[in-house]
Amino acid sequence: MNPASNLILVGPMGSGKTCIGKRLAERFGLRAVDADREVELRAGARIAEIFEHEGEAGFRARETATLAELLAGDGLLLSTGGGAVLAADNRRLLRERGFVVYLQVSVEQQLERLAQDRSRPLLARGDREQVLRDLARVRAPLYAEVADLPFDTGAAGAGEAALGLARQLDALWRRPPSSTSSPLGATA
């Protein structure tokens, strides 16, 4: 059992990291932070603009610096970007500074959930399904490598998935003493 005080969600785009993360943060009394939004706030630019001007390497460097700063503290629920696990230093940091949950989702479910999303630079490269399959082939082993707990978000909505995951976390994750848990309500 990983006794870290931070709860970290990893997984592919469309797996529910942000939506489920907000519900879990409330449940466990943690501060919810979306790593991609933090990168945007610090850069003063949207991720697509960072990719356009600095390339993926520039974005990844910003992502690594942001993760290091955020995970220096405690009591955080961190929803990472889908590619955060690509850098070995990030994987080490995630394992050392948090209880890591790998939110799993099929490519078919991703396509459904992301059908209207045009904000993701990696999905702007041709055949969306093939892009998602290629990303999964590279990233799924890395998500599994850092994970303390894999959790399939399946066909469940965010509220149902959050409730199921909260139950598993209650049994498996030793939360920090200062955090308070409250039940997930019917609207979760």
Determine the angle formed by the axes of helices 47-70 and 88-97, rounding to 10 degrees: 50
Residue 63 φ/ψ, nearest 5 degrees: -65, -45
Q: How far apart are CA 64 and CA 70, in angstroms?
A: 10
| 31 annotated as belonging to a binding site for a ligand | no
Is 82 annotated as contributing to ligand binding?
yes
17 is in an annotated binding site: yes
Tell me: is residue 16 an annotated ligand-binding position.
yes
Any known ligand binding at 159? no
Residue 119 in marked binding region: no
Residues 6+ apart with CB under 8 A from 110: 12, 13, 14, 15, 132
| The length of the chain, given as a count of residues | 188
Residue 137, marked binder: no
113 annotated ligand-binding residue: no
Tokens matching residue 68 = 């290091």
55 carries a ligand binding annotation:
no
Annotated binding site for Mg(2+): 18
Annotated binding site for ATP: 14-19, 120
Binding-site residue numbers for substrate are 36, 60, 82, 139
Q: Which residues are annotated as a binding site?
A: 14-19, 36, 60, 82, 120, 139
